[in-house]
Amino acid sequence: MLSLIIPMSAFALAASISPGPVNLVCLSSGTRYPLHRGLIFVTGATLGFIILFVTIGLGLYSVLTVVPGFNTLLRWMGVAFLLYLSIQLWLDNGQLTDEEHHKPPGFMAGAIMQWLNPKAWLASASGIGAYTSGHNVYEILVFAALYLPFCWLSLSCWVYAGAYLRRYIHRPGLLVSLNRLLALLLAASSVFFLVK
């Protein structure tokens, strides 16, 4: 087990920090809202992912292969949710106002988004398949414990990157352009998972 800790950690870091739907929402949140609001979303997304990871490790993945159509339904729900978020980003007016007028994505949005995020399902299933025996609960829990800090820190980096960009975006037009670029990338990533 000790020999797997470094490869598991490397996998967790690569899967967590690479661009994906949740990462793009973190970046957008960092540009739009105070830092602590983005970190609340990050915490929800991290815990949502860890629960998904452990659930898949404990057998949900095998249920998905047995129940016909459930995997397809889950994929379409995820794509619909990601497209909804893309539309919200696209329609944002770029005004940096206080939180009372625009509700930032919160803890539950982060947690739910991971369950509807095809990248999270792929990362969980491939990580568990590659680095655990699939039946050893201890291995799955150790892997989840390693994943927890890597996921939280990686997503936080995206929020901090957004906050850094915010310092240089003083015109609403620039923020609208950034939001629309992120909206297109989010929509493209959801379509990619649909056709994959």
Q: What is the pLDDT of residues 95-154, one digit of tens each?
A: 555 544 567 889 999 999 898 887 888 888 888 888 887 678 888 899 999 999 999 999
The pLDDT assigned to 21 comes to: 84
**Residue of higher predicted confidence among 15 and 172:** 15
Whether the predicted pLDDT of 187 surpasses 70: yes
Looking at residue 34, its amino acid is: P
The answer to whether the beta carbons of residues 143 and 57 sit under 8 Å apart is yes
The answer to whether the beta carbons of residues 25 and 146 sit under 8 Å apart is no
Give the dihedral sign, CA 118/119/125/129.
positive
**Residue of higher predicted confidence among 93 and 177:** 177
Whether the predicted pLDDT of 46 surpasses 90: yes
- Closest CA relative to residue 169, chosen from 92, 109, 104, 106: 92
- Determine if the pTM surpasses 0.85: no
- Intra-chain end-to-end CA distance of the chain, in Å: 33
- Closest CA relative to residue 180, chosen from 72, 31, 71: 31
The pLDDT assigned to 78 comes to: 65
Region of poorest pLDDT, from 75-89, 120-134, 148-162: 75-89
Longest dimension (CA), the chain: 54
- Residue at token pair 């939001």: 179
